[in-house]
Amino acid sequence: MELVHSAPSGLTAVPAQRAQDTLSLGHPSSGRATATARSTAVRSAEVDEIVERAQKGDRGAFRELFRRHRADVARLAYRMLGNATDLEDIVQEVFLQVHRSLGDFRGQSKFSTWLHRVTVNVVLMSRRAARSRPVFAPEALSDNEPDCGVRPDDEAARGRRLEAFRRVLDRLPEKKRTVFVLHEIEGLAPADISQIVDAPVLTVRTRLFYARREICELMREEPALRHLAEEMTQKSDELTKKGNSEDEGGAR
């Protein structure tokens, strides 16, 4: 049984500072999220019908599930893995697991939440297997070879930030990294993440709190991210103080 340690005061006041906003990782804007919410019920009913047909052995329905959700699975796998070396293999393995386990899906959660859980499990198994394989460093480019990857300064800077942030994510413990990616980059609510990682919501929030704090510390070690770490820490401190002040005012 997992022990849940209480987080320091101000846990709920820590800002939901989206890493994808700071690093341009492409999370949907609030406008898009609002527009999406309007059609959620319709799409949910459609998905439920397709899932039921697929569970009955309808191959066309399963292909439709694959078509609709492949991009989401690939995006989450890429963000968790930090590279695309074997991304297609991961996607194929996820849907193989979905095909095998679809009969066990009882609709107790959204299909997308269940699919996220399958994806996370496959990615974590892949990461564990990768740690047992030898790693070969790529050959360095010759000084006489032209750099074919030259980009404008702003694009090059963004690329450096992204690579640095992937290094930071890779240094996080597995459980913290998983909830951070699901919440801060995928935009999932703690309640949904709770179902995906099979942990209480309080545990998810606690992991998020410490993941954010650890990421800020690791970002200070990356020159490309150092100024962003200071901004995130300052914002976190401001909102934490505000949250504590409101708590004290309500207690009077």
Domains and CATH numbers, the chain: 14-132+153-251 (1.10.1740.10)
User: How high is the pLDDT of residue 47?
Assistant: 78
CA atoms within a 13 Å half-sphere pointing along the CA-CB vector of 126: 23
Separation between Cα atoms, residue 219 and residue 232, nearest integer Å: 10
Enumerate residues 6+ apart whose C-beta is below 8 A from 177. 80, 169, 170, 211
Report long-range pairs for 228-233 (Cβ below 8 Å, ≥24 apart).
228/22, 228/23, 228/161, 231/22, 232/15, 232/17, 232/22
pLDDT interval class at 59 (50, 70, 90) = very high
pLDDT of residue 194 exceeding 80, the answer is yes
pLDDT interval class at 150 (50, 70, 90) = very low
pLDDT interval class at 13 (50, 70, 90) = very low
pLDDT of residue 178 exceeding 60, the answer is yes
Please give the structure tokens belonging to residue 141: 């480019």
Residue 27 or 45, more confident = 45
User: How high is the pLDDT of residue 198?
Assistant: 92
User: How high is the pLDDT of residue 138?
Assistant: 37
Q: Give the predicted TM-score (pTM) of the model.
A: 0.65
DSSP state of 183: I
Residue reference for tokens 């690329």 = 159
The torsion angles phi and psi of 172, rounded to 5 degrees, stand at: -70, 145
3-class secondary structure, 85: coil
User: Do the beta carbons of residue 83 and residue 127 sit within 8 Å?
Assistant: no
Separation between Cα atoms, residue 13 and residue 240, nearest integer Å: 5
Separation between Cα atoms, residue 60 and residue 23, nearest integer Å: 39
User: How high is the pLDDT of residue 210?
Assistant: 93
By mean pLDDT, which of 33-42, 189-198, 209-218 is the weakest? 33-42
